[in-house]
Chains A and B, each alone.
Chain A
């Protein structure tokens, strides 16, 4: 018993590090942080730091994470000093580019020229003054912040992150491309960007985010991503998590969708020793649409975890959710997808599928799709499949001259590829296809 308390100390240690933020913090933010900090302490004292006996963490052990002590990095400028962007980090298309290093915005590496003056893409910290009213009103309002002790931790130390603001009717000429770079040092680093994406009425944006490690050392990234779509706003969103296999990744994504807004997201999870995305969809008003595609590829001893909470609380909304996974080596996938249709949410349409391909004997998938319906006029479905490659397909390819390794890779790619269907930027699709091929190439060998 004592051992487990000892090993949980790291959490309080992180919470105590927040005194070094400096003085130029607005009062509301001080208060906001303090409240979150209090909540985090309370949660900790109530024993809410995830353990496997908690249902939501049943399949995902944090024990490895808890062997380490992490520190916040207060001087990102040191880390970015000699940093150059590598081509492989970029999507290969014209974009407004925002780069974060160890959770801090890097103006040196970002490329935001030509952004219309009534729009904002960049650092949340830098936007605090100009957009104070907007940010203070909306930050923390999405479901991303509700339950998890880790989102409380993020909020308790809220300082920087991505801020995107598009005013009414605006449509950017180029996609927004965000790159989060992080890595370890002798001290294990924790970065906690808090991202706020606000798209006003009938405005449209394309946002791609890539989560990349600078080295192969242990690091821990604890993100909160809040997305607010006003009526008729449209967002095409892509998240690509490709951290190194030693690192930890948590992202609490909250989508708040107002009437007739249209959110289309693609979530790729390729990296991390333990990577978990908690995705919460909150339909605020009638007639909104949410389409979620996901792909995880898991090899070595990785654990990749998706928790989806899709809540239809108002009538006439549509959610379409399709997640696929390729699990290799001793990899382990957790998929927990829950749809709730509340009593008043008539004419809802909700479909959820999770398909898994296991390529090795030791690969493991825990898939738990759930559907609760309290309305009577709805169209819903959910389902899971877990399968292996058909040997006759492998034979067919080999009989044409392909090695068994290449045959398996090609078939796994064939299984995975349609997860990229919603990505409208051709260059990005190609880049990601190559990236996935690379992961499968090494993974299939093991």
Chain B
């Protein structure tokens, strides 16, 4: 599904990603963990196509196709979805209209027939209910005045409707209390499927109790320093990131 080779990316002249190799197949959930400033969000945003991230070297293939020439909306329409750490507020843009326009744009680009209004409304309402998202929020401006938890659930709502093939969840757990976290995780788990891959970017192991990953990668200083299964996350929780750092330093010294 997604194949990243030796990816190097800089921001404002400073190299942030220093050679990432990563391979995700359909049905897999990969977690990327790492301390602040290790490049986790840079990787997430770079994959989404956002401006301000300068490609230096390496390749990113999505379903065998070079992702890098595509602009933001083309990537979205190909099936890449980024659930953001800080979802953006769009004053005056009705949430329902936003969802509808997004789905319409994606369906149109893929040459699919547009979903009819009745089915759309039904689906939105059912998904909102599943995510315990107040129906009133669908009629409000996108994310405006939403609580932190509501914003995150609104991201998952979009993901559920847009049915991406690659979902990137950037710090989806940040700012969530335990109840919201469970709801969000349930929403995400409901979307796990054999033809969908997920890249879960997180700071803490906590989220991974609820969204169980198949693989865990540790990103430090722009490189993946260790990969393993979910037990790696538990080990990190117990020992902290410093433990890996020491490991690297020792390896370098010897």
By a beta-carbon cutoff of 8 Å, the part of chain A in contact with chain B is: 390-393, 395-404, 406, 410-411, 413-418
Contact = CB atoms under 8 A, between A and B. Distances in A.
Nearest to B75: A399
A410 B106 CA distance: 16
Contacts of A417: 92
Contacts of B77: 401
Contacts of A411: 90, 92-93
A398 B106 CA distance: 11
Interface residues of B, number: 32
A41 B50 CA distance: 62
B193 interface: no
A178 B76 CA distance: 46
10 contacts: A393-B88, A396-B87, A399-B48, A399-B50, A401-B105, A402-B102, A413-B93, A414-B93, A414-B94, A418-B92
Contact of B73 (A392, A404, A415, A416): A404
Contacts of A396: 84, 87-88, 90
B72 A410 contact: no
A402 B142 CA distance: 15
B79 to A, nearest CB: 10
B101 A402 contact: yes
Given A400-B76, A402-B101, A415 B92 contact: yes
A413 B91 CA distance: 10
A401 B102 contact: yes
B93 A400 contact: no
B71 interface: yes
Contacts of B87: 396
A415 B92 CA distance: 6
Contact of B71 (A398, A400, A406, A413): A398
B105 A399 contact: no
Given A392-B88, A399-B76, A406 B50 contact: no
B7 interface: no
Interface in B84-100: 84, 87-94, 97-98
A401 B90 contact: no
Enumerate the 9 nearest inter-chain pairs by beta-carbon distance, A residue then B residue, closest first. A414-B92, A400-B102, A398-B72, A414-B93, A396-B88, A401-B76, A401-B106, A401-B105, A398-B73
B91 A401 contact: no
Nearest to B144: A414
B93 A402 contact: no
Given A393-B90, A403-B105, 17 more contacts: A391-B51, A398-B73, A398-B76, A399-B50, A399-B72, A399-B81, A399-B82, A400-B76, A401-B77, A401-B162, A402-B101, A406-B101, A411-B90, A414-B91, A415-B91, A416-B92, A418-B92
